[in-house]
Amino acid sequence: MAETAALMDLSTKYMGLTLPHPLICGAGPLTESVDDARRVEDAGAAAIVLHSLFEEQIEQEAVRERATYFPKSHELPYSPSRYLEHIHHLKQVLHVPVIASLNGTTPGGWLKYSKLIENAGADGLELNFYYIPADPNVTSVEVEQRIVDCALAIKNSIDIPIAVKLSPFYTTPANLIMRLDNIGVHGIVIFNRFYQPDVGPDDLDTMPKVHLSNSSELLLRLRWLAVLSGHVRASLGVTGGVHTGEDAGRALAAGAHAVQMVSVLIEQGREHLTTVKQELERWMAQHGYDSVSQLCGCLSLQHCPDTGAYERANYARVLHSLKRT
């Protein structure tokens, strides 16, 4: 194994950043303190994505008012000003790239804080568009144009690379991603997990409920990675469902340049990053690949003349593969 690892080239480029391997610690609670972030780096993460700073937090700090349903400031890890301090402190002690995250739906305070995040030393910025358009009068065209407008405004205001993190729930995800690629975003992250509130059986009130991901969630991501690979200039990141080295290998083969992990690191500890990296090396060796660049996109649909027909044929095969019990 040592000889195989020495010959294996796991380096990759993501958002214009050169990484020693494609395994990234995604946005979540694992980097909320400097000590936690150092442990993630020591476990082998090639980069870290910080938890999101919400648009509502920025607005609250600006006007000193709190939205009725939005969490109070003490319920969130950092205020906007402390978020900037956290980035600054991390850049003083870490050697891996630090990618900040902004979560919102309108340009608003994003423009100001994207520049402040850059000034704090962040190596990149992930824009997390988590938006549920509950108003039936809002059209899909309006929703998607808002995303493109926000991304373009922020891209034009800073010099560090930006990635856009999307959910799969758009009319035509490939078209939206192509439009984002056309304005020059540096990365696309697929997909944001859709957290759905539950209803308490006793008080009939909504309550947050989080289910950690598992490898089955990777299938949706693999499909869209394979569709997009080779058709966009932006690098592709995947989040949701990567728990093993084999999961990572499949994502890379479908077209990912980097994979983000959170749930499995919460479940099994940060040290699991080392295990996944070793598993990825063995998986690549078993399949005859000696570099990530060679593996990336090898199973994409780029050379398929009619991807729609391919998808329908695959759908038919799946249905006919069902066995009656």
Give residue limits of the domains in the chain: 2-320
Residue 250 CB coordination number (10 Å) = 24
Tell me the sheet residues that pair with 198.
Answer: 207
| Long-range CB contacts for residues 191-197, cutoff 8 Å, separation at least 24 | 191/166, 191/167, 191/220, 191/221, 191/224, 191/239, 191/240, 192/128, 192/129, 192/130, 192/165, 192/166, 192/167, 192/239, 192/240, 193/217, 193/239, 193/240, 194/167, 194/169
Rounded to an integer, what distance in angstroms lies between the CA atom of residue 14 and that of residue 22? 8
Cα atoms found within 13 Å of the Cα of residue 89, Cβ hemisphere only: 15
As its CATH architecture, domain 2-320 has Alpha-Beta Barrel (3.20)
Count of all residues that appear for the chain in the document:
325
pLDDT tens track for 156-207: 999 999 999 999 888 899 999 999 999 999 999 999 876 666 666 666 565 5
- Encode burial over 289-322: b for 16+ CB neighbours within 10 A, e otherwise: beebeebbbebbbeeeeeeeeeeeeeeeeeeeee
Percentage of the chain lying above the pLDDT 90 cut = 64
Residues 270 and 35 sit within 8 Å (Cβ to Cβ): no
Quote the tokens at residue 142: 């309006």
Compute the mean pLDDT over every residue in the chain, rounded to the nearest whole number: 86
Determine if the peptide bond prior to 169 is cis (ω within 30°).
Answer: no
Instruction: Please tell me the predicted confidence (pLDDT) of residue 176.
Output: 96
The structure tokens listed for 4 are 């195989």
Q: Are 236 and 188 in contact, with CB atoms under 8 Å apart?
A: yes
Alpha-carbon distance of 251 to 6, in angstroms, equals 23
| Prediction pTM value | 0.87
Which token pair is 60? 């609250």
Closest by Cα among 276, 287, 235, 298 to 46:
276
Instruction: Give the mean pLDDT per block of 10 residues along the chain (325 residues).
Output: 67 98 95 95 97 79 51 59 94 97 78 91 94 85 92 95 94 94 98 69 60 88 94 96 97 97 95 97 96 94 64 62 60
